[in-house]
Amino acid sequence: MQTATTAREQLKALVDELPDDLLRDATYALTHLVDDEPLSAEEIADIEASEEDIKDGHMISLEDYEKERGL
């Protein structure tokens, strides 16, 4: 993958790498991002902590998550 230089390029690269079974979830998430209310300091901190977890590999696939919860 090429090094993405802008946020838009990074997002496009991530979408291009998503497996087909996650595209619907990604579409839903992106569609629901539109919000007139700014994020609180707590929400920003939570997002940053989540990003660190992802970078550190502390995540599981949606499929594994659903299996663990019997969904």
Write out pLDDT tens, residues 35-70: 678 888 999 999 999 999 888 988 888 899 899 989
23-39 residue pLDDT tens = 888 888 888 877 678 88
At residue 3, the pLDDT reads: 54
CA atoms within 13 A on the CB side of 70: 0
The yes-or-no verdict on residue 17 having pLDDT over 50 is yes
Q: Which phi-psi region, left, alpha or beta, contains residue 13 (left: φ > 0; alpha: ψ -120 to 50)?
A: alpha
